[in-house]
Amino acid sequence: MAMSRFKLEDYTSLTTFLGDDYLDLKAGKKQRDLYKICEELNIALFSVRFKDDSLSGVLHKDDDKWSILINETDSPRRKMFTIAHELGHYFSLKDGKLSKDLFDESGFHEDRAIFTRPTDTESLSASAEKAEAEANFIAANLLMPEKLVKASFEGKKNIEEMAEEFGVSESAMGFRLLNLGLTPIESIGVADGGN
């Protein structure tokens, strides 16, 4: 099994929301109800059109009011991952972890949909890269719980079926499988049982 530098038990503000009470298991799906989590945390969600279309999400704090803004032009699966990612920053901040270093004094943190090689004028600091990896770790655990992913994988489902089941992109599911030390059959070039 692949090892992560992060551990779920280090995020005490998150653990309540990892339970089955927040899973929507209807119609063969295994999807976390992120809207219910945001509602319980009093985090307002807004779908907006950003001037910069590469912007995927923003976590914002104004006094004691939190909000997450997501790009209205993104696909539904991208929006769900963005919400989970921004919740990752929120939980990290609440627990005094890595995101506290990137949440600027204006109360905003922006996330881009596509990570590109930084230019000379735009580079992520090492601490920012770690905070983004931490938010992705939390998002992956919210959207694709290890126990449920392993059960689906052992049921011989392919990445496409698993991504549909969990409401995430195939790319997100592929990374989750690799991070859990699971090798999807598609990635090793075996199709149709090797026939």
pLDDT along the chain (195 residues), means of 10: 67 82 76 90 93 86 88 92 93 80 58 44 68 90 92 86 92 91 60 41
Cβ(31)–Cβ(38) below 8 Å = no
**For the chain, what are the domain ranges?**
8-187
For residue 115, the model assigns a pLDDT of 39
- Token representation of residue 184: 């999807």
Q: What is the pLDDT of residues 92-110, one digit of tens each?
A: 888 877 777 666 554 555 5
- Phi, psi at 162, each rounded to 5°: -70, -40
The runs of H, that is alpha helices, within the chain are 34-40, 76-94, 126-143, 146-154, 159-166, 170-179
Cβ(71)–Cβ(48) below 8 Å = yes
For residue 184, the model assigns a pLDDT of 63
For residue 101, the model assigns a pLDDT of 66
Rounded Cα distance, 76 and 57, in Å: 13
Rounded Cα distance, 158 and 179, in Å: 16
